[in-house]
Amino acid sequence: MKTNMVLQPADLSLSALKFDNCFVRELPADPDSSNQLRQVHSACYSRVTPTPVVAPQLVAFSQEVAELLNLKNETCKSKEFAQIFVGNKLLLGMDPYATCYGGHQFGNWAGQLGDGRAVNLGEIVNKQGERWALQLKGAGPTPYSRRADGRAVLRSSVREFLCSEAMHHLGVPTTRALSLLLTGEQVNRDMFYDGHPQEEPGAVVCRVAPSFTRFGSFQIFAWRNEIEPLRQLVDYTIQTDFPHLGKPSTAVYQQWFETVCRRTAEMIIHWMRVGFVHGVMNTDNMSILGLTIDYGPYGWLENYDPDWTPNTTDAQGGRYRFGHQPQIALWNLVQLANAIYPLIEQAEPLEAALQLYNDHYQQGWREMMAQKLGLKKFEPATDLLLIAELEKMLQLVETDMTIFYRKLVDLVPTDSNDGADLFAPLLDAYYQPEDLSEKNKAQINGWLRTYLNRVAQDGLSVDERQERMKAVNPKYVLRNYLVQLAIDKAEDGDYGLVNDLLQVMRQPYAEQPENEEFAQKRPEWARHRAGCSMLSCSS
């Protein structure tokens, strides 16, 4: 049987990874060290090592994340790096484990879940004093694998790797991704859940975050009435990830929950700003730090449709559709409030924090929409109606959200605002411009005249307004069909497009004239193709 070797790195850059594994040092461990499926009680984690693979091969790595970890580019291209970040070898100081958590999935309590295919290598502290947890996704079975093999396939790993970095550069709070590696092994998956499984190339992503603790990490203890480990995890989380709040106490627990509510609201506002749909907002996929976590069947809103979900499992109910994400985040926060109630035993402060989420989201969403429209600030008297009419207008015919807002930048108030062809510069945003009826055109022109008159009232120069709008309205997003094209090529051994997309998404707000092809709206062939329109949770 293959086993992991503890490696004394020859590369000085790898030696710079200084591990300080306080999660396993300070929190209760599973006393059973076997890697057998089981219910794990009164423990935050189980020690487990990655399962070695036959032929690790680097597909791509993030230069920015390497810098966070004080790693050199040359190091990330080395064979030694590939062995470590696929799980074949361990560095001195690594103390691998899988965490225990529960969660609500599609609104129903699912019991114990846990890291079923993720193995945490440990936590490093970089030269700036920042703490980063390193986690391999697809590294083999753990006690939480629930009859699964603990592996991940290349298609889902490409999606996770690229989206983690794209979201960061878009300014969205997110976990990061250091590397994407092939395992050299095949993984059996039924992509469409239709009884026709196929062999697919296996892969491992190294995910990076200050913490991977989820709402469900607390829920599992509350559900089992294991109050002492619940308190230990809350205290540890506050001391490690929220130290500015002070020493844990009932009052600090309340402040902590308020902070989680605010951070969650801010994350959702950013999702709505760039048109991101998570697709599976279960409570076990909600980060306690307000980071986007677990990139499964996500999607980007191309045609503006608030009812769209990228998840085939959710297609009928639409629980996690784009326009419902703010309400789902609140529902998930209610479940977290229920989980930590035993430590506070007062409903009022928790209810106040949930109201704070609502207030923070509403205020932040209004400010965000004003920024997208290039306004100095949100004026309720005029802008509530302006935005409500905009959302109706975007649904008259299929309208590409990203292109529409980016083209709106180029419209300027002039004396000819009463003209009949104001919408002409926006034509590229429509998937079927021939479907625009005369009534549609009149409605769009009417809104644009109102909008330009509103812009003129602010008195901003054209350059200043355009600069503001370009800073929040990306030209490039990680469109579903582009990722699928990259997956198709990668499965044939060509990783060029994976790296091209990684490079383009490093500057999503810049014009990048040499990369104009990546800013085009979804082609017709991708409308209903699997991976380009909707996806399953299979990975």
pLDDT of 380-400, one tens digit each?
A: 999 999 999 999 999 999 999
Report for 339-353, 402-416, 418-432: range of highest mean pLDDT: 339-353
Task: Specify the pLDDT at position 530.
Answer: 84
Spatial separation of the C-alpha atoms in residues 183 and 180, rounded to whole Å: 10
Q: What is the dihedral of CA 389, 394, 396, 399, to 10 degrees?
A: 170
Contact (Cβ atoms closer than 8 angstroms) between residue 67 and residue 80 = no
pLDDT at 415 over 60: no
Tens-digit pLDDT profile for residues 416-433? 556 557 888 899 999 999
Query: Residue 22 is encoded by which pair of tokens?
Result: 């306080």
Task: Specify the pLDDT at position 420.
Answer: 59
Spatial separation of the C-alpha atoms in residues 238 and 248, rounded to whole Å: 7
Tens-digit pLDDT profile for residues 41-61? 999 999 999 999 999 999 999
Choice among 28-32, 406-410, 521-525, 534-538 with the minimum mean pLDDT: 534-538
Spatial separation of the C-alpha atoms in residues 257 and 248, rounded to whole Å: 12
pLDDT at 357 over 90: yes
* Residue boundaries of the structural domains of the chain: 5-213, 217-285+320-364, 375-459
CA 142 to chain centre: 24
Task: Specify the pLDDT at position 16.
Answer: 81
What would the mean pLDDT of 279-283 be, rounded to a whole number? 98
Strand 299-300 with 198-209, pairing: unpaired
pLDDT at 517 over 60: yes
Task: Specify the pLDDT at position 7.
Answer: 67
What would the mean pLDDT of 12-25 be, rounded to a whole number? 90
**Is the Cα torsion angle 322, 290, 165, 144 positive or negative in sign?**
negative
Task: Specify the pLDDT at position 93.
Answer: 94
11 is known as an active-site residue: no
pLDDT at 202 over 60: yes
Mean pLDDT of the chain: 95
pLDDT at 312 over 80: yes
Tens-digit pLDDT profile for residues 160-190? 999 999 999 999 999 999 999 999 999 999 8
CA 214 to chain centre: 13
Tens-digit pLDDT profile for residues 450-467? 999 999 999 999 999 999
Contact (Cβ atoms closer than 8 angstroms) between residue 163 and residue 137 = no
Contact (Cβ atoms closer than 8 angstroms) between residue 330 and residue 303 = no
What would the mean pLDDT of 3-15 be, rounded to a whole number? 72
Res. 412 pLDDT band, cuts 50 70 90: confident
Catalytic position from the list 284, 294, 314, 400: 284
Tens-digit pLDDT profile for residues 228-262? 999 999 999 999 999 999 999 999 999 999 999 99
Half-sphere exposure of 298 (CA within 13 A, CB side): 30
Task: Specify the pLDDT at position 192.
Answer: 65
Task: Specify the pLDDT at position 313.
Answer: 92
Tens-digit pLDDT profile for residues 65-120? 999 999 999 999 999 999 999 999 999 999 999 999 999 999 999 999 999 999 99
Residue indicated by tokens 């030269």: 127
CB atoms within 10 A of CB 34: 11
Task: Specify the pLDDT at position 195.
Answer: 78
Contact (Cβ atoms closer than 8 angstroms) between residue 140 and residue 150 = yes
Res. 439 pLDDT band, cuts 50 70 90: very high
CA 496 to chain centre: 23
| pTM of the shown model | 0.97
Spatial separation of the C-alpha atoms in residues 486 and 479, rounded to whole Å: 11
